[in-house]
Structure 1
Amino acid sequence: MRPGDGARDAERDAILRALAPVVDGIAATFGPVCEVVLHDYRRPERSVVAVAGSVTGRSVGGAMSEIGMRMLARGDEARDELNHVTRTGTGALVKSSTMVLRDSAGTVFGALCVNVDVTEVDRVRGLLDALAGPVTDPPVTTFADDIDSVVDALLDAHLRRHGRTWAGLDRARRLALFRGLDERGVFAVRRAVEQVATRLGISRASAYHYLAQARATATDNPEGAHP
């Protein structure tokens, strides 16, 4: 542990403790359509340290979502994402805001997330929108207590977009897959490389090789195509 790490962790723990009652207060204010989740990014596999409401069905000790992984991948460059509309795996339409938490040094270490179920509002709006033409359906986001489910969903989504299995991807698309997962923060999660290797039916060594090559090509060509 570097000098000062203990003090910084104590500061972060204090911030999280101070925000715990805020979680309950916000959820109580908006009622049953609202869920508030407090995340500690120091432990992505079980980042949820406080939760009130049940819009996404998560509990304390649960994993971060794809949104959290994206924040984790951006590190201290992460910014608040407000009023982001998505769908859960069960079809509920959710408006989410993710506000990053920083310590006194400006380091991102967590997030406060507010999720509001706007499904019923959307149904009413749909009756009116039908008169004005089609609207774009928001993307599906996986929320789960199990980090493996989130990683699996990201992997499945990539393969579906390309309409191929791993065996059907050429080398460029395979590198794009690993680059995309890396940019979404997947490989910051412990055992993620092994999980991806198992799902793709390749060896762990091959997965690490593709990841290294994807990172190298991303550095050489930062404006390259993304999956």
Structure 2
Amino acid sequence: MSGADDLFIEAVKPLVDAIGGELIAPERAGPDDVLLSWAGAEVAAVRLPHLSASLDHILGELRRRHGMPLAELDRKTKQQIVRGLETRGAFAMRHGVETVASALGVSRFTVYNYLNRSTNC
């Protein structure tokens, strides 16, 4: 790997980390991995997380960003989180509402109310 390849990997690493992926050597890539090419050569591959792991990763990142368990946040902040997660497609996956409700320390009904409130505002 060249110095330019190292710079490329350094540049994409924050994105890979943000989605909960894993950078691997291109020769280890499987059919579901995404190969990354730079200057015409395969430099790395990204192993994407399972969707349920992605949601857990996003919730963990939100917890770190807010500096406290999500269940301890105020109602307005929880509503903002639900709107942001809806935008990212969290509720299109199976058990998404239950997973988010558990993390926020609210009921599924409350999450649905937050979702309805955001579409009616």
Alignment TM-score > 0.5, same fold:
yes
* Number of positions where the alignment pairs a residue of Structure 1 with one of Structure 2: 95
Is the alpha carbon distance of 1:203 and 1:90 closer, same or farther for their aligned partners in structure 2, counting shifts above 3 Å? closer
Is the alpha carbon distance of 1:170 and 1:151 closer, same or farther for their aligned partners in structure 2, counting shifts above 3 Å? same
- 2:35 is aligned to 115
Aligned-residue offset at 1:144 = 1.8
Runs of at least 4 residues off by over 4 Å: 88-91
CA distance in 2, matches of 1:201, 1:162: 15
What is the TM-score of this pair, normalised by structure 1? 0.35
Mapped pair 1:92 → 2:12:
no
The higher radius of gyration belongs to: 1
Cα deviations by residue, 1:10-59 (Å, 9 ceiling, x for unpaired): xxxxxxxxxxxxxxxxxxxxxxxxxxxxxxxxxxxxxxxxxxxxxxxxxx
- 2:115 is aligned to 211
Comparing 150-159 and 180-189, the one that deviates more: 150-159
Higher helix share: 2
Gap regions ≥5 residues in structure 1: 1-83, 94-112, 122-140, 221-227
1:122-201 equivalences in 2 (<5 Å):
143-145=48-50, 147-201=51-105
CA distance in 1, matches of 2:47, 2:81: 18
Aligned-residue offset at 1:167 = 3.3
Aligned-residue offset at 1:91 = 5.9
Is the alpha carbon distance of 1:166 and 1:142 closer, same or farther for their aligned partners in structure 2, counting shifts above 3 Å? farther
Matched-pair contact (CA < 8 Å) for 2:63–2:70: yes
CA distance in 2, matches of 1:179, 1:201: 16
Is the alpha carbon distance of 1:117 and 1:170 closer, same or farther for their aligned partners in structure 2, counting shifts above 3 Å? farther
